[in-house]
């Protein structure tokens, strides 16, 4: 990295010193448009208007991300900030579903990657974390193209490559895969298009899902009480197990847009009837823990 960050950093030291609360207020005003994605232009504006250091800015973003976390089981808040190759920042936090199984948990680093996918980031250069990434996340991050060279950064200023934390790793290259989950291309699944916006969005999510190992492309669209629609596709992993379900990806879309899971009204899942992997039972189960009245329609291609 982190040349883009370093150059931004050097631009912002001619202004008066602010106390932490003033800084937070200024930054909140600048980034009020989006809570979970901060563009490189906005980062530049923050450096121009304050004397903040990169370390302090990241600390504020991580603390901010933590406030959106939902650790209903662990009560342990995680915040993470990813930086793409252009210098845009992507926030993430951990989400847990009380009453569900622990494998449904979305980790902060996973949230960041889904956020990157949603917003079209093509390469994640670095990720700042409030705690060392767990083994599960190390494996998940290894699915990124050039993941081994992803820089993991800590609050004390130290940083190391993912390859340092994941030695002798098993990854996409072991299964003959090229590319990675941020550079995937659209899948040509055959399914009749629909005029229903919820179904349409679930189909689009399935088409852009990442399932290179099983070809079990699947997408999910969520409609909330205000009729807003959120969506996401599954994200497989070479090791299979840190795989994100299409509902989890759609839930991140919803949360990062400022909505609440409790507002979910309807859900559509699109998956293959002959696929080796089915998400239907798992999603039905997790929806019951949110609200038993949520309706789910499963459409098979």
- By CB under 5 A, name the binding residues for Zn ion: 107, 134, 136-137
CB of 190 to Zn ion, least distance (A): 36
Query: Among residues 152 and 202, whose Cβ is nearest to Zn ion?
Result: 152
CB-count burial class (<10 Å; 0-12, 13-18, 19+) for 128: buried
Q: Of residues 29, 33, 55, 109, which has the active-site annotation? A: 109
Residue whose token pair is 């563009």:
39
Residue 106 pairs in a beta bridge with: 95
Give the C-alpha separation, 244 to 185, whole Å. Answer: 18
Query: Among residues 5 and 152, whose Cβ is nearest to Zn ion?
Result: 152
Q: Verify whether residue 284 is a known catalytic residue.
A: no
Query: Among residues 93 and 137, whose Cβ is nearest to Zn ion?
Result: 137
Give the C-alpha separation, 206 to 273, whole Å. Answer: 13
CB of 133 to Zn ion, least distance (A): 6
CA torsion sign for 158, 70, 53, 38 is: positive
Give the C-alpha separation, 46 to 58, whole Å. Answer: 12
Going edge to edge, which strands form the sheet with 295-300? 229-233, 218-224, 264-271, 295-300
Query: Among residues 66 and 107, whose Cβ is nearest to Zn ion?
Result: 107
Residue whose token pair is 């250091």:
53
CB of 291 to Zn ion, least distance (A): 27
Tell me the pairing of strands 295-300 and 264-271. parallel
List active site positions: 109
């Amino acid at each position: 990295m982190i040349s883009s960050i370093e150059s931004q950093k050097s631009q912002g030291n001619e202004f008066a010193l602010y106390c932490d609360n003033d800084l937070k207020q200024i930054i909140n005003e600048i980034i009020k448009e989006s809570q979970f994605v901060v563009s490189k232009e906005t980062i530049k504006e923050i450096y121009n208007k304050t004397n903040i250091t990169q370390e302090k800015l990241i600390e504020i973003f991580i603390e901010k991300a933590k406030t959106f976390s939902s650790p209903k089981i662990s009560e342990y808040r995680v915040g993470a900030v990813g930086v793409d190759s252009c210098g845009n920042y992507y926030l993430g936090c951990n989400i847990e579903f009380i009453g569900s199984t622990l494998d449904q948990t979305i980790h902060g680093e996973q949230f960041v990657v889904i956020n990157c996918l949603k917003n079209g980031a093509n390469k994640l250069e670095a990720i700042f974390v409030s705690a060392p990434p767990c083994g599960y996340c190390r494996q998940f991050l290894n699915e990124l193209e050039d993941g081994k060279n992803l820089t993991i950064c800590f609050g004390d200023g130290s940083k190391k490559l993912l390859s340092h934390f994941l030695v002798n790793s098993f990854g996409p290259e072991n299964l003959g895969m090229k590319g990675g989950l941020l550079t995937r291309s659209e899948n040509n699944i055959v399914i009749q298009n629909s005029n229903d916006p919820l179904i349409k969005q679930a189909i689009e999510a399935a088409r852009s899902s990442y399932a290179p190992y099983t070809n079990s492309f699947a997408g999910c669209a969520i409609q909330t009480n205000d009729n807003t629609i959120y969506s996401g596709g599954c994200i497989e992993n070479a090791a299979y197990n840190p795989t994100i379900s299409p509902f989890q990806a759609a839930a991140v879309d919803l949360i990062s847009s400022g909505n609440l899971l409790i507002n979910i009204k309807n859900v559509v899942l699109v998956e293959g009837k002959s696929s080796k992997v089915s998400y239907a039972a798992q999603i039905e189960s997790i929806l019951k823990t949110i609200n038993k009245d949520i309706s789910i329609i499963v459409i098979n291609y």
